[in-house]
Protein backbone atom coordinates (compact mmCIF):
# COMPACT_ATOMS: atom_id res chain seq x y z
CA UNK A 1 0.00 0.00 0.00
CA UNK A 2 2.84 2.39 0.84
CA UNK A 3 4.56 1.63 -2.44
CA UNK A 4 1.38 2.56 -4.35
CA UNK A 5 1.12 5.80 -2.39
CA UNK A 6 4.77 6.48 -3.15
CA UNK A 7 4.22 5.89 -6.86
CA UNK A 8 1.18 8.17 -7.04
CA UNK A 9 2.88 10.91 -5.03
CA UNK A 10 5.99 10.64 -7.20
CA UNK A 11 3.93 10.97 -10.36
CA UNK A 12 2.12 13.99 -8.95
CA UNK A 13 5.46 15.54 -8.05
CA UNK A 14 6.75 14.97 -11.58
CA UNK A 15 3.55 16.52 -12.99
CA UNK A 16 3.95 19.67 -10.92
CA UNK A 17 7.64 19.93 -11.84
CA UNK A 18 6.66 19.69 -15.50
CA UNK A 19 3.87 22.23 -15.07
CA UNK A 20 6.19 24.68 -13.30
CA UNK A 21 8.67 24.46 -16.15
CA UNK A 22 5.85 24.82 -18.68
CA UNK A 23 4.46 27.86 -16.87
CA UNK A 24 7.83 29.56 -16.83
CA UNK A 25 8.42 28.76 -20.51
CA UNK A 26 5.00 29.95 -21.67
CA UNK A 27 5.22 33.21 -19.72
CA UNK A 28 8.91 33.79 -20.52
CA UNK A 29 9.80 33.52 -16.85
CA UNK A 30 6.73 35.56 -15.86
CA UNK A 31 7.63 38.57 -18.00
CA UNK A 32 4.74 38.04 -20.45
CA UNK A 33 1.50 37.48 -18.60
CA UNK A 34 -2.00 38.43 -19.67
CA UNK A 35 -3.76 41.43 -18.24
CA UNK A 36 -5.27 40.19 -15.01
CA UNK A 37 -3.07 37.11 -15.19
CA UNK A 38 -2.18 37.03 -11.52
CA UNK A 39 -2.84 33.30 -11.56
CA UNK A 40 0.49 32.78 -13.26
CA UNK A 41 2.26 34.31 -10.29
CA UNK A 42 0.25 32.19 -7.88
CA UNK A 43 1.07 29.11 -9.94
CA UNK A 44 4.76 30.01 -9.94
CA UNK A 45 4.67 29.79 -6.16
CA UNK A 46 2.18 26.98 -5.57
CA UNK A 47 3.31 24.48 -8.24
CA UNK A 48 6.89 24.11 -6.93
CA UNK A 49 5.59 23.86 -3.37
CA UNK A 50 3.22 21.08 -4.40
CA UNK A 51 6.05 19.33 -6.26
CA UNK A 52 8.19 19.43 -3.12
CA UNK A 53 5.31 18.27 -0.93
CA UNK A 54 4.43 15.30 -3.13
CA UNK A 55 8.12 14.44 -3.53
CA UNK A 56 8.52 14.42 0.24
CA UNK A 57 5.43 12.21 0.62
CA UNK A 58 6.77 9.82 -2.03
CA UNK A 59 10.13 9.58 -0.31
CA UNK A 60 8.61 9.02 3.12
CA UNK A 61 6.20 6.37 1.82
CA UNK A 62 8.96 4.55 -0.05
CA UNK A 63 11.22 4.50 3.00
CA UNK A 64 8.31 3.45 5.21
CA UNK A 65 7.61 0.53 2.88
CA UNK A 66 11.26 -0.55 3.08
CA UNK A 67 11.19 -0.47 6.87
CA UNK A 68 7.99 -2.47 7.04
CA UNK A 69 9.43 -5.03 4.59
CA UNK A 70 12.48 -5.53 6.82
CA UNK A 71 10.43 -5.75 10.01
CA UNK A 72 7.83 -8.14 8.66
Can you tell me the distance from the alpha carbon of 17 to that of 4, in angstroms, rounded to the nearest whole number?
Answer: 20
Average pLDDT over residues 17-27: 97
Query: Is 27's pLDDT higher than 90?
Result: yes
Query: Would you say the pTM of this structure is higher than 0.85?
Result: yes
Give the pLDDT confidence of 34-58 residue by residue, as tens digits. Answer: 999 899 999 999 999 999 999 999 9
Amino acid sequence: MLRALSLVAGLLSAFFIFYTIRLLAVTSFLTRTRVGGAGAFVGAIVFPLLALLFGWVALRAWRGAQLSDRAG
